[in-house]
Amino acid sequence: MRMRKKKNLDTRFAACANVMITEPQMQKGKWHEVFSNENPIHLEIGCGKGRFIMEMAKRHPEINFVAVEREEGALIMATEKARELELSNLKFMSFDAAQLGDVFEHEEVDRIYLNFSDPWSPNRQRRRRLTHADYLDVYNNILRETGDLCFKTDNQRLFEWSISSICEYGWLVQNISLDLHNSELAKDNIMTEYEEKFSSQGFRIYRLEARRRLPQFMDRRRPVRKPE
């Protein structure tokens, strides 16, 4: 369900200029200058109202966080809250995930978070899934050699499909949980707004981590392509 359009967005976003990156392409290769330090960079694609990424930023001041969100209603709520918290290690931007290679230099990102991404149709719209090979091409370019991807969803079919997609791409899938909230990983888990809502209704939460392309697959690297 799409959020209702918020009022006075231009004025409200202008008031959040200290946490918003309005021209992200200009920061390519310069993100450490944005944060004025050399700390690792973690990226969340689809941050929603920002609960997860803000809590991560509070817990880990030694890490720089960048959050991407296309839905303006959710983004303004996230940026206004972040402005109140005065987190110097967190920035937000509105950008197409398929074009993140225009925003981050090769191997500029240390970790990517995908939390409860839209499952899309597995037939006609599967290439819009954020774990499709087209997007993995993008991640493979911007992630460091030791970088990884953290993926959470309540959709079992999407989770199973994503495991196949990631493995076929040649990445190492690890730390798989088929019931996150009843696993050892739960103690360090930070819930998103969506996650809290659906887990309270009895839905299982699925989680995995994936590391960049294994060395034996490196000669098969494909050029980055835009999803159709």
**Domain map (residue ranges) of the chain:** 37-220
The answer to whether the beta carbons of residues 136 and 169 sit under 8 Å apart is: yes
* Percent of the residues in the chain that have a pLDDT greater than 90, as a whole number: 86
pLDDT at 41: 99
- pLDDT, tens digit, 9 for 90 and up, residues 15-55: 999 999 999 999 999 999 999 999 999 999 999 999 999 99
From 118, 137, 148, 179, the catalytic residue: 118
Which tokens go with 101?
A: 């290679």
The answer to whether the beta carbons of residues 176 and 163 sit under 8 Å apart is: yes
Helices (H), 98-202: 133-142, 156-169, 193-200
- Indicate the SS3 state at residue 88: coil
Q: How many CB atoms lie within 10 A of CB 4?
A: 7
Annotated binding site for S-adenosyl-L-methionine: 44, 69, 96, 118
The answer to whether the beta carbons of residues 42 and 64 sit under 8 Å apart is: yes
**Distance (Å, rounded) from C-alpha 213 to C-alpha 86?**
36
pLDDT at 212: 87
Mean pLDDT of 61-78: 97
Mean pLDDT of 176-203: 95
Mean pLDDT of 159-177: 97
What is the pLDDT of the chain when averaged over all its residues? 92
Which tokens go with 66?
A: 């960048």
- Indicate the SS3 state at residue 68: strand
pLDDT at 205: 98
Residue 228 has pLDDT above 60, yes or no: no
Between 88 and 1, where is the model more confident? 88
Contacts of residue 21, defined as CB under 8 A and 6 or more positions apart, other chains included, come to 27, 34, 66, 91, 92, 93
Annotated binding site for substrate: 154, 192-195
Contacts of residue 121, defined as CB under 8 A and 6 or more positions apart, other chains included, come to none
pLDDT at 55: 98
Residue 1 has pLDDT above 70, yes or no: no
Between 95 and 221, where is the model more confident? 95
Q: Superfamily for 37-220? A: Vaccinia Virus protein VP39 (3.40.50.150)
**Distance (Å, rounded) from C-alpha 92 to C-alpha 144?**
21
Residue among 57, 56, 31, 21 nearest 142 (CA): 31
Q: What residue type is assigned to position 176 of the chain?
A: I
Does 118 qualify as catalytic in the annotation?
Answer: yes
**Distance (Å, rounded) from C-alpha 87 to C-alpha 128?**
32
* Confidence label for 225 from pLDDT (cuts 50, 70 and 90): very low
* Confidence label for 227 from pLDDT (cuts 50, 70 and 90): very low
Residue 214 has pLDDT above 70, yes or no: no
Contacts of residue 125, defined as CB under 8 A and 6 or more positions apart, other chains included, come to none
Residue among 173, 111, 121 nearest 148 (CA): 111
